[in-house]
Amino acid sequence: MNKLTIIFLLGALVSLGACKKKGCTDPEALNYHTNVKEDNSLCKYEDTTLVTVQRISYGSHERQHFDLYLPPGHNSQTKTVIMIHGGAWVLGPQAQDSVITFNGGLGWDIVNPLLSDGYAVAVMKYRLACYTTQPSAFTGDPNFYMGDMIEDIDLAIGKLKAEASTLGVSSNNFALIGESAGAQISLIYALRNSSDSDLKTVISFYSPALMDDESFKSAAGTFPYTAIPLSNEFGMPKYANNCNFTTTGNVNLFWGLKSLAGYDLQMGTQFPAYTDTLSPGYLPNIQRNLPTFILHGAADDLVPPAHADTLIDRITSAFGTSPASSGDFNAQHKMLKYANCGHGWNGGSCNRSQMIDDVQSWLAAHF
């Protein structure tokens, strides 16, 4: 047998072996390989019965990331609800920790009901304002920190869009839910013309609407909001600590508002130059006719319930619409107050289950 024949036969054997290579031939499987020619019935698939969670960075700052909860069977049609925590603009969990505000940290859970409805949920952190009680350290610019917070929402949505096919979510269906300060940030972002056009609706939990309101400033600067202790669960960047994050000391919520505004706001005096652009109820901030659902506790002792009334009145006035009746979830703008509910939906008689049902009904109608 000559050399040429031997080489030919060896090549044929190699080719024959390659043709018979066994493995998984299903492109949807985790262990699929393009070289496999014969199925060995050992394809491995992602478990579609479990919620998965992954942390995704949307910027270089240590706080610019979100925890993405994905429901079973998520795909390119799965819509994402983005959640923004509160904390007087200066408080938040440590960068390495997860935000638990929306899934049990305040005694109620809205994350898991929305996952059960088939939504993806992105619970995000954002850059916080640097807290100070030294007026000389104020920035003098109410958008110094707010601009970062608004940009962070834009960046988070942009990241979800860019990674949509990899993550298995829709690239053009997003909703915002914010609570307290996070609701104020969400409303400022959502109702401006510059907000992402793929944002379909915004939901506000007990947001301040008028940042210079005397009753709001007074409530923020009195018991029990004058010396909230910091902890490993909720700390803040502090000016006296070079604006580095600290979990020791305490925070006065009125000084948190002042730090955000960049000015030494006082009771009995109005400071529109430092508060108007921060107020969701300020008419020039109400530009985009987006479906908006405002929820507020009737017994809120921090943000006066009247803020919800003012906000819905100004939104509907801006667009010539009518606020929805209590059982109507199809209207463009809606406000509900919940009896016996305080700030954070606290209160033993607060009907948190009804609140969650109402959010689900709103999203079903507008998302």
> Does any domain span residue 152?
yes
What digits encode the pLDDT tens for the residues 174-204? 999 999 999 999 999 999 999 999 999 999 9
Same domain, 18 and 112: no
Same domain, 71 and 104: yes
Give the whole-angstrom CA distance, residue 180 versus residue 185.
9
Give the whole-angstrom CA distance, residue 187 versus residue 206.
11
Low-confidence ranges of the chain (pLDDT < 70): 1-22, 28, 30-42, 44-49
Same domain, 26 and 56: no
Same domain, 29 and 156: no
Same domain, 18 and 167: no
Supply the CATH number for residue 267's domain: 3.40.50.1820
pLDDT of residue 40: 57
Helical axes 253-261 vs 143-162, angle rounded to 10°: 80
> Does any domain span residue 315?
yes
Same domain, 220 and 342: yes
> Does any domain span residue 161?
yes
Location of structure tokens 């008028």? 210
Same domain, 132 and 30: no
- The structural domain count of the chain equals 2
Residue 118 · residue 367 · CB < 8 Å: no
Residue 85 · residue 45 · CB < 8 Å: no
What digits encode the pLDDT tens for the residues 137-185? 999 999 999 999 999 999 999 999 999 999 999 999 999 999 999 999 9
> Does any domain span residue 47?
no
Same domain, 21 and 101: no
Whole-angstrom CA distances from 39 to 13, 117, 118, 135 are: 20, 36, 33, 72
Task: List the beta bridge partners of residue 205.
Answer: 179, 295
> Does any domain span residue 45?
no
Same domain, 9 and 95: no
pLDDT of residue 43: 72
Give the whole-angstrom CA distance, residue 22 versus residue 232.
53
> Does any domain span residue 46?
no
Token digits of residue 350: 């607060």
Same domain, 222 and 354: yes
pLDDT of residue 4: 43
Global pTM reads: 0.87
> Does any domain span residue 44?
no
pLDDT of residue 50: 85
Q: Is 320 exposed, middle or buried (0-12, 13-18, 19+ CB in 10 A)?
A: exposed
Same domain, 21 and 85: no
> Does any domain span residue 288?
yes
Task: List the beta bridge partners of residue 203.
Answer: 177, 293
Rg of the chain taking only CA atoms, in angstroms: 26
Domain that holds residue 20: 3-39
**Cis peptide bond N-terminal to 208, omega within 30:** no
Same domain, 32 and 94: no
